[in-house]
Structure 1
Amino acid sequence: MTIQKKLITFTLCWTMLVIILGAYTRLTDAGLGCPDWPGCYGFLKVPHKAEKMELAAARFPERPLEHHKAWNEMIHRYLAGTLGLLIGALFIISWRQRKRLTVLPSALLAIVIFQATLGAWTVTMGLLPIVVLAHLLFGFILFSLLALYWLQQRPAWRNSEVRLQALKPLALLALVVVVLQIALGGWTAANYAALACIDLPLCEAGWSNRLAFAEAFDLHLGHDDYEYGVMSQDARATIHVLHRLGAIVTLSIVAWFSWRLYRLAETTLMQRFAQAIALVLLLQFVLGLLNIVLHLPLANAVAHNFVGANLMMLLVVTYYQISRPQGREV
């Protein structure tokens, strides 16, 4: 295995760790554990000495230092910064090998730089929901493109069935539906609406009379701090209900796609892709139900976030496999 292949594999695994820790940081309400960026209360690491803690309190009197939250936030930043260096190394290796810019390494570098910017805005804008959502989505996009880059280095894993191109429209529909559902989930989380409804199948009695679509999708600009949310209960319930309905639509469309892919595929490789999509889809749906029934336990909520990233990744890679059987790299 070449150094490039090893580095791509390591970077892909590192990205998984960053996604998991990012979800953990958000779900433990540590997104503003350090109210400045890139440091923490003006230091490179979380202050512990008495004199530094006094200085931190003087700098940010409105936000007292909580060490466990600050460390959650800073460890996530350290890991994310390391990910940026790894992707930078992949870009340099690719450029030196080909003496020209190639699409995927260039896109990965651009996205990780933008992700760093979004990470800074997340803090400096006080967890503004649209920024938090963008940070989530681009993290998932980065993960998906890294998986695609990993696949390109392994010709034996490439699909050779041209007939599967007939599934391109359905594959694209499944991917779009999953991205929209992830966006709804991210909007739900960013607005602290995950527990806005705790009854099944949709919400508490009378929910349909309290829907507030205009407020639910308003950006609510102008607040200094969005921690714990600024929307009314009705608006949060509206987002939550739409996310639940989206889960049903997603389950139906993606399940249908995986079934069609399995039935049409002639190679074991593509049948395994279909099986992987179906299993991850089912796991994600069950985790979503458990979030409701168990009232958002931390480990389950983190897993729901991570499995969602993997579902999107699988659909991106599968769409590429169907679209470009044994095609050229990008």
Structure 2
Amino acid sequence: MNKTLLQKLSSWTILLTMLVIILGAYTRLTDAGLGCPDWPGCYGFIKVPMTESRIAQAEMAFPERPLEPFKAWNEMIHRYFAGTLGLMIAAIFFISWFGKLKVPRLLPTMLAALVIFQAALGMWTVTLSLLPIVVMAHLMGGFTLLCLLGLYWLQLRPQLLQGMEPQLQKLKPLAVLTTVVVALQIALGGWTAANYAALACLELPVCEPGWASRLALGEAFSLHLGYDDYEFGVMSQDARQTIHAFHRIGAGITLLITGLFSVLLWRRAKMTLMKKLALALAAILLLQFVLGVLNVVLHLPLLNAVAHNFVGANLLLCMVLILYQFRHRTRAQEN
């Protein structure tokens, strides 16, 4: 296999990862995370049982959770695509190590390890009945997978990393801060979703009147271990409002910091790629903010909520790619 084919494989793997992220969000938002109460199959089968005899067998094995075909298919389709993604990442790993090509090997190794851990998180999501910390970690793992694949895609095209302007290095601390803020805001969004707090506040800009007097920080950010089932959440309404309010406040902070960074990057960059990344970052940020507002105003419409999740992943990807450009330039200068 030549390097061109590996480049194409990395591109298709990124696209598949994006699709898996979308399917994961759709599965979660349709309350299908336990559509199949076992793992990796569904009620003991490799696909959703459809015949009367298999349905009866499935419900006998899991009497506490009657089969809901729509939810079960949502969950299994997500698993099928995630499994295919795992195979594609395995192919990247083996080609990078044994394909006799002079290509980076660290990231393929990290990708292989992460996708195995993601599979474990997917299993624990089911076996631990949607334990919020596991659900949030699974979401963050998927986003991290996308970012690592983006970096690997860039490493396979080193010509794109040439010509970083030295004056942009002054923006590196702000780039690091922006990346951390975006990652923390995404994690907070994952915590909001995992605890079914997305509709806990239905008024703008933060929450219903008196929200500050009802903060329940201890409960809102507790792991709440020990429950048999976390579907539809175990927290009080005050705790859910607390999580949601913090996510709203975090959104404002993210908008200000990321917006400032994108403007400064665009104004100071002369290289075409960095200007494009700055514009892309600003556009993705604005879209994400609008989708967040629409989630509140329209009471979390399904497609809008899925898009909010997907655009968040791309916001983080864009920041990671920008940050890698800074790191590459610094190393080049040191050499």
TM, length-normalised to structure 2: 0.95
| Whole-angstrom distance in 1 between the partners of 2:240 and 2:330 | 46
Paired residues of 2:174 and 2:261 also in contact (CA < 8 A): yes
Question: For 2:48, which of 37, 46, 49 is the aligned residue?
Answer: 46
The match for 1:138 is 141
Question: In terms of mean alpha carbon deviation, does 134-143 or 266-275 score higher?
Answer: 266-275
What SS does structure 2 have at the residue aligned with 1:281? helix
The gaps in structure 2 that reach 5 residues or longer are none
Query: Alpha-carbon deviation of 1:100?
Result: 9.6
Q: Which runs of 4+ in 1 moved over 6 A?
A: none
Aligned alpha-carbon RMSD (Å): 1.4
The match for 1:302 is 306
Question: For 2:151, which of 148, 152, 163 is the aligned residue?
Answer: 148
Paired residues of 2:281 and 2:315 also in contact (CA < 8 A): yes
User: What does 1:176-195 align with in structure 2 at a 5 Å threshold?
Assistant: 176-195=180-199
Amino acid at match of 2:206: L
Amino acid at match of 2:260: W
Paired residues of 2:104 and 2:155 also in contact (CA < 8 A): no
Query: Alpha-carbon deviation of 1:327?
Result: 5.8
Alpha-carbon displacement from aligned partner over 1:89-114 (angstroms, at most 9, x marks no partner): 00011002358982100000010000
Paired residues of 1:8 and 1:90 also in contact (CA < 8 A): yes
Paired residues of 2:90 and 2:112 also in contact (CA < 8 A): yes
Kindly indicate whether residue 27 of structure 2 is the aligned counterpart of residue 30 of structure 1: no
Amino acid at match of 2:108: P
| Whole-angstrom distance in 2 between the partners of 1:130 and 1:55 | 32
The match for 1:61 is 63
Alpha-carbon displacement from aligned partner over 1:54-93 (angstroms, at most 9, x marks no partner): 1101110000000000000000000000000000000011
The match for 1:120 is 123
| Whole-angstrom distance in 2 between the partners of 1:163 and 1:208 | 43
The match for 1:319 is 323
What SS does structure 2 have at the residue aligned with 1:132? helix
Query: Alpha-carbon deviation of 1:154?
Result: 1.8
| Whole-angstrom distance in 2 between the partners of 1:127 and 1:32 | 8
Amino acid at match of 1:261: L
Paired residues of 1:159 and 1:321 also in contact (CA < 8 A): no
TM, length-normalised to structure 1: 0.97
Paired residues of 1:159 and 1:326 also in contact (CA < 8 A): no
| Whole-angstrom distance in 2 between the partners of 1:259 and 1:101 | 33
Query: Alpha-carbon deviation of 1:155?
Result: 2.8
What SS does structure 2 have at the residue aligned with 1:200? coil
| Whole-angstrom distance in 2 between the partners of 1:149 and 1:101 | 8
The match for 1:201 is 205
Query: Alpha-carbon deviation of 1:325?
Result: 2.6
The match for 2:13 is 11
What SS does structure 1 have at the residue aligned with 2:202? coil
Aligned residue pairs total 328
The gaps in structure 1 that reach 5 residues or longer are none
For residues 317 and 151 of structure 1, do their structure 2 counterparts lie closer, same or farther at Cα, with a shift above 3 Å needed?
same
Question: For 1:257, which of 241, 247, 261 is the aligned residue?
Answer: 261
